[in-house]
Structure 1
Amino acid sequence: MSLKFSKWTGLGNDFVLLEPGESLDFVDGFEQRIIKLCDRRFGIGADGVVLVTPLEGDGCTKGVDFEMRIFNADGSEAAMCGNATRCVAKFIVSRGLAKDVGTKVFVLHTKSGLVKPSLLEDGRVCVDMGLPRDFLGSIKLSADSFDFTAETVSMGNPHAVIFVDDIEKIQLEKWGSVLEVDRQFPDRCNIEFAQVLPAEQGAPTQIRMRVWERGCGVTMACGTGSCATLVAAQRTGRVGAEADIILDGGTLHIKHQDGGPVLMTGPATEVFRGTI
């Protein structure tokens, strides 16, 4: 059996998207197939596999255009992924999947609820990520004899944001795997280390962030993690309504007004197409 696919990236957070008409059977061995597709030596190589399904009938009458399902590199299903959402929006347009030609705003159904990506004139995608949700508040975490204070935020998936003075000293590869499975996180957790950088005159506030994603490990970018980082920085009085989040793979602009949704803006790029 062969599958037609395309490879996409959002600032280095990369995904395999199945081409229109292709599907995966949700049967025994499904998780192993996801793992093989994501394997960077024996498969395509990706942080996850994304399935995009146009919704007909009742789904559309409720204003929802597509269903998006995301599977991590370890075979587990993710509730939400901001970088994948930007890729999906461009995928929909490039494949002509929208009902109305020229449509550049979509409503996607995910396991964590609805998200709304919009294609901008400059080629970037702005995603309405919805409202941030309470998680566990401020908590204590430990790894390798180091103690941390984490601000927890849910963006449809769980995040623990740890603010540090020097992110270059963070041993993300060593600590991330420990913190992800802390006993306070029965369903595991995404872990962000963040450093608020000195503000330059006239420039947006900048936050340098690195992320350990549950089910993936260290990734070059995380959209929901960037949103959670801004919200956590706001709650602790570190920033105002918006900031540039500088990730290993590039920069996302995040904006959040009190009581409103979190808006994430950044690029998405198709890398190549193939058959496996």
Structure 2
Amino acid sequence: MKLHKASAAAAAALVLSLTATACGGDSDSGDGGGKKITVGIKYDQPGLGLKTPDGKFTGFDVAVATYVAKELGYDAKDITFKETKSADRETALARGDVDFIAATYSINDERKQKVDFAGPYLLAHQDLLIRADDNIAKGEDLNGKKLCSVTGSTSAQNVKKDFAPKANLQQVGTYSECLNGLLSGAVDALTTDDSILAGYAAQEQYKGKFKLAGLKLSNENYGIGVKKGDKEMVDKINAALAKMVKDKAWDKAVADNFGPANYQNEPAPKIGNIVK
């Protein structure tokens, strides 16, 4: 009887041992197995962050995020891209919905109170998109012209306040509506960040029809948003961004995503160098 009890105890111990080993194997990510990362991007910005009808993700932000994730130890198959709209970015990081955000996220003092930033990885400027045969040389040339932007955008208001108070501002729901208006002649210019404009202009149906005015009406330092206080993640992402520039992958990403629009991009910014 005593022998039977001992055998039962040994069997139970063996089961527990095997169970612990199995559990340990599932959580072990030292060799990269089972590791996953969630990255916040835009889904509706061609050239930057776009989810295509077949479920793929394209754009400069996507290329940067994929490169960074790889340097952090994640293969492309281990990345989950999550749509993160502008108004939701700080909340998504605070809740832990995403590990980092690459979504035309301009670094500014107000946002730095809520999140930390790696980068910047692109210096963009507010600009105008105009028809290829048109010529607007300065912001003041918009006086008396029809300027299009999306409802709630600060870009168009900045133009009216700082450059062209007599511009006829037309606000619509989407940038696509502005592009169609620009194409038909219903409006004379579309304004937002030049990187976003270049992405739209680079779409197949618009190639050769639009151009950037090249006015550089503001400086927009795009950074990668990280949960507030996660200095280790910021340092790792900064190292990845520096490597991306050094090995020319950054230049390739610019050419692949903005090239068709003849986007005159700024050189890759240095980490921590915020242009006011």
Fold shared by both chains (TM-score > 0.5): no
Between Structure 1 and Structure 2, which shows a larger proportion of helix residues? 2
Q: Which has the larger radius of gyration?
A: 2
State the TM bucket, normalised to the shorter chain: under 0.3
Q: Normalising to structure 2: TM-score of the pair?
A: 0.26
Higher relative contact order (CA 8 A, sep 6+): 2
Between Structure 1 and Structure 2, which shows a larger proportion of strand residues? 1
Q: Normalising to structure 1: TM-score of the pair?
A: 0.26
